[in-house]
Amino acid sequence: MAKRQFKRRQAVIEALAVIMKRAEPTAFAAEGPARHGVRRALCLAGWTWQDADDEAAEVTRNALARAGARRPTWAEGQLEYTKENEGPRTREQCKRCAKPLPEGHYTFCGPVCAMAAKVDRNRQRDREELVIAERAARAAWTERQPEQTCPCCERAFRPKHRGATYCSNACRLDARRLPGRSLRLVCEPLRDDAD
């Protein structure tokens, strides 16, 4: 059985590349959530899990290449990584609460700060991954939609959400104005009628 081809693949790759360029600290932070989002959208479109996963992996790999991402070496990937010819960084204050570090502690002043920092990191990572996966799924969904014509500006567009009638928020707002009325900006100084 021939594998299914993902229509409009390049548009999804471009959308993911934009997401990955904005990802912090590197584009690789968006790799897993983006793959998950594309795979989810393809599975919901009727693809088998394996075909959807293979296609999501390929799309994600191409998006990383388009974003210019370079995988770090093992040493560069370590938390303690410093530039060549520099010694390890030393810390004098707790990374979380900024209190002076007790003797023998290198990052946190105690287990409470260490655990709280871990919880904070995990919550932040979970929020970021959820947003990235949602954007990836939306990009894949948008590319599956048929083109529509905007009733306001008559440009062709693909809706980004269900029920979208206009190509942009500006067109939607423009269509809400009463016919024949236009928005006019008045740049005259106010006169004082008391004179």
Residue 162's pLDDT is what?
86
Q: Where are the domains of the chain?
A: 9-70+89-149
The mean pLDDT of 16-30, rounded to a whole number, is: 89
Question: What percent of the chain stands above pLDDT 90?
Answer: 40
Residue 39's pLDDT is what?
94
The mean pLDDT of 158-182, rounded to a whole number, is: 82
Query: Which two structure tokens, joined as six digits, stand for 52?
Result: 């959807």
The mean pLDDT of 97-110, rounded to a whole number, is: 88
Residue 25's pLDDT is what?
82
Give the sign of the dihedral formed by CA 68, CA 74, CA 75, CA 79. positive
CA distance 79 to 89: 11
Of all helices (H) and strands (E), which one includes residue 133?
helix 111-144
DSSP 77: G
Name residue, tokens 């799924």.
137
Closest CA to 131 of 61, 52, 32, 56: 32
Residue 8's pLDDT is what?
80
pLDDT bracket for residue 62 (50, 70, 90):
very high
CA distance 101 to 103: 7
Query: Which two structure tokens, joined as six digits, stand for 195?
Result: 């004179």
The mean pLDDT of 7-13, rounded to a whole number, is: 83
Conformational region of residue 181, where left means phi above 0, alpha means psi within -120 to 50, and beta covers everything else? beta
Three-class secondary structure of residue 184 per DSSP: coil
* Distance set, CA 72 to CA 6, 34, 69 (Å): 30, 19, 9
Question: Taking the model in full, what pTM does it have?
Answer: 0.54
Name residue, tokens 């390929």.
58
Where are any strands of DSSP class E within 21-179? 148-149, 156-157
